Structure 1
């Protein structure tokens, strides 16, 4: 049962209370239940949902997972050709698995707004879109119920909270937040699209107590909120996913929302929640470190090498998980490396180590720099640089070197006032071991990003070797 039985419960217990709000438009629990129930009879066995954030989205998603139905949620900003390719791939996969009749319906489908069997898949998840078809995996209803129970306990979500997730519901972070609130009986807010002014208005006027978002959004909201005098004192928790918060973002968020516990966590779409920590109001953070926190409730962690053998405490290797939240595996796109299993322990290839029960996350093995026999993870270098005053953002990479194999280079986007190479060198001395420190520093006019907004270390190297004016060497 993911959340439909709970939706029925809240509709019966408090029908007129608000369930979902999208830019001031609201649906009560009874209205949401009825809107979803009306759509169930026409919902196919496997549906594809691709649309902007709306009240209709919430009802359509609920209907799309009723009974034994399965639903795939696509990003509506993906090219139409890519969406069509995914839709056809899904249809073909399920045609081979179980022939259907009519408009994609099977005789086993019910017309009731009820949850299907706990161990049956209900969600077809997709990795982030690229120019090729992304990988697709499935999740069971039970796995999401276990995830809900763990995240509600870890984040302290209550029915009195008002959660605002301003990003697209097509993203797993926000889709999960919607379903989590429906399960917990907690009010969920979103916007048709992310807009700083609209988020500030919601925080000021809608009694938002909880934010779910990515670090770049948090920095924008915090810095502009401080400049504009937007009162965020009513926010009690901020849940941030995507990457560890840098010093500038964390400082701005602490000042803008002084009463909020700021949660950072590590997870993956295929693994769900893994480990995290909450920084309480007034608590001093440890800047520049790689520690992400302790395991979520119900999660066991191990660090295993490439053959599945345990490594000594403090040594790095594959971050492996055993929990009831892990996905079923892939419908397509599995190359044998994306989700590996070592005797019941699952990993997506992220590297890290355990120290005193805390998980330290280093990054993907494919990003690793090998310099003079030392393994260096760019993520570790970037976190250290992000804690240096005068740095707005940082990126590190390995540049080919005849003597060392690769040498560590780093580039920063300076904040107001700028920063020198000497300041950067001094800033990482107490954080990074000598053989992990960058040998060259560059100042950037902008971050090297792909056309989909993802950080590209290869693009940084191209700028450096091509003497691109966007990357200026710091003496």
Structure 2
């Protein structure tokens, strides 16, 4: 079971209460149940669900996982040829479920697959993994406990429902009997309006969204005092985003967590209202309820506190593995301890995440992770954003370089060096700084360290050398 028995329960207990809101269109618990039930008989055993945010998305998702059915959620923004390729692969790779045509809106067996997840990989074709109904049920129970989700919360996740963060937030709210809201597409003004007029108490979003909402909310005097929970995922919050969010939503506990689509939740931490955050650190909290974390080397040997290696997880929340796309490194297992290759270390029970091994910079025999450098730089006054990379160096093998977008006015290499003195070890500090007019972003919206190096190499006008 993931959530269908819960929808039935809430529809019986609170039929006219709001379950889902998308761009102002509301769906009650009874309407959600009845609309989904009407679709079940005509829903195939495997459903590729590919559509933009709408109340219909929630209805079709519920019908698509009824009984023993399986659902694959595709991004409607993908090119048509890619979508068609994925649909063929899904229908050819998944094991068809034995589903009677008149099945009711009811959950299938707990151990059966209900979701085919898609995650980007090293190629243009996303990897596909599967999840059991039991794994999501246990994930819901862990996240509801950890984040303190209540039935009287109103959750707004303003991103696309095709993204795993927002899809999970929708399903979690259906399980908890709590109102879920989203938009047709992300718009700062629309999010601010929802917070002002729709009693939003809980935000689920990525750091870039939180930063825009907080900074523009402060400028526009948008009252976010009613928000009591902010959940950020995707990357660790930098100091400027955290400070702006704290000022804009003064009564919120701000959560950040580490997880992966294949692993589910791993660790997290909440910063209660009024608490001052530590700046520039790599800590990402303690393990989630029911999750064990170890740091193992490539042979599967446990490493002591403070020594970095593979972040490995043992929990009932882990996915079943891949339908396709597994190159042997994407999801590895060491006697039941699973890793997606992220590197980190434990310190007195707190997990510190350093990043992917592929991003590691080897300089003068030392391992430096750009993620750690970027977090430290983002804590320096006058820095709006930062990106670090390893540049080839005849003497050192690689040298650490960094590009920064100033918060306002200019900034000097001396200011950057001084700002890092107390928060980053000397052998991890950049040897060369560049001022950027903008972050190097790929066409998929991700910060690219390789693009930074390309800009430096070609003397792109968006880069200015500050020297050492």
TM range (shorter): over 0.9
Query: CA 1:129–1:16 in 2, change beyond 3 Å: closer, same or farther?
Result: farther
1:39 equivalent in structure 2? 39
Q: Deviations over 1:151-184 (max 9, x none)?
A: 0000000000000000000000000000000000
Equivalent position of 1:18 in the other structure: 18
Deviates more, 1:131-140 or 1:396-405: 131-140
- Summarize deviations over 1:215-259 as a string: whole Å, max 9, x none: 000011111111111100000000000111111111110111000
* Deviation of 1:417 (Å): 2.3
Q: CA deviation at 1:133?
A: 1.4
| Cα distance in 1 for residues equivalent to 2:78 and 2:103 | 31
Partners of 1:421 and 1:384 in 2: how far apart?
A: 15
2:299 to 304, 307, 332: 307
1:115 alignment partner, one of 107, 118, 122: 107
Alpha carbons 2:67, 2:99 under 8 Å: kept: no
Q: Does 1:137 align with 2:137?
A: no
Pick one of 370, 375, 385 that aligns with 1:393.
Answer: 385
Deviation, structure 1 residue 313: 1.1
SS in 2 for 1:211: strand
1:456 aligns with 2:451: no
Deviation at 1:418, TM superposition (A): 2.5
Residue 107 of structure 1 and its aligned partner are, at CA, apart by 5.1
Counterpart of 2:186 in structure 1 is 194
In structure 1, the partner of 2:426 is 434
Contact 1:69 1:109 in 2 (8 A): no
SS at match of 1:266: strand
Q: Are the equivalent residues in 2 in contact too, given 1:11–1:30 (CA < 8 A)?
A: yes
With 170-179 and 427-436 compared, the bigger mean Cα shift is at 427-436
The match for 2:219 is 227
Out of 244, 247, 265, the residue aligned to residue 273 of structure 1 is 265
When the two chains are superposed, the root-mean-square deviation of aligned CA atoms in Å is 1.1
Give the Å deviation of 1:128. 3.0
Residue 457 of structure 2 corresponds to residue 465 of structure 1 = yes
Deviation digits for residues 341-372 of structure 1 (CA, Å, limit 9, x no counterpart):
00000000000000010000000000000000
Provide TM-score, normalisation by structure 2.
Answer: 0.98
1-structure distance, mates of 2:320, 2:122: 23
Q: Which runs of 4+ in 1 moved over 6 A?
A: none
1:241 aligned onto 2:233: yes
Per the alignment, residue 374 of structure 1 pairs with 366
- Name the counterpart of 1:318: 310
Query: CA 1:339–1:180 in 2, change beyond 3 Å: closer, same or farther?
Result: same
Partner of 1:102: none
2:76 matches 1:84? no
Displacement of 1:432 in angstroms is: 1.2
TM-superposed deviation, 1:130: 8.1
Secondary structure of 1:42's partner? coil
Shift of 1:131: 6.7
Q: Is contact 1:16-1:28 (8 Å) kept?
A: yes
Gaps of 5+ in 1: 99-104
Is 1:62 matched with 2:54?
no
Which shifted more, 314-323 or 129-138? 129-138
Contact 2:402 2:432 in 1 (8 A): yes
- Partners of 1:109 and 1:417 in 2: CA distance: 65
Report if the CA contact (8 A) 2:20-2:180 is conserved.
yes
- In structure 2, the gaps of 5 or more residues are none
Give yes or no for contact 1:65–1:71 (8 Å, CA) kept in 2.
yes
Alignment: residue pair count:
467
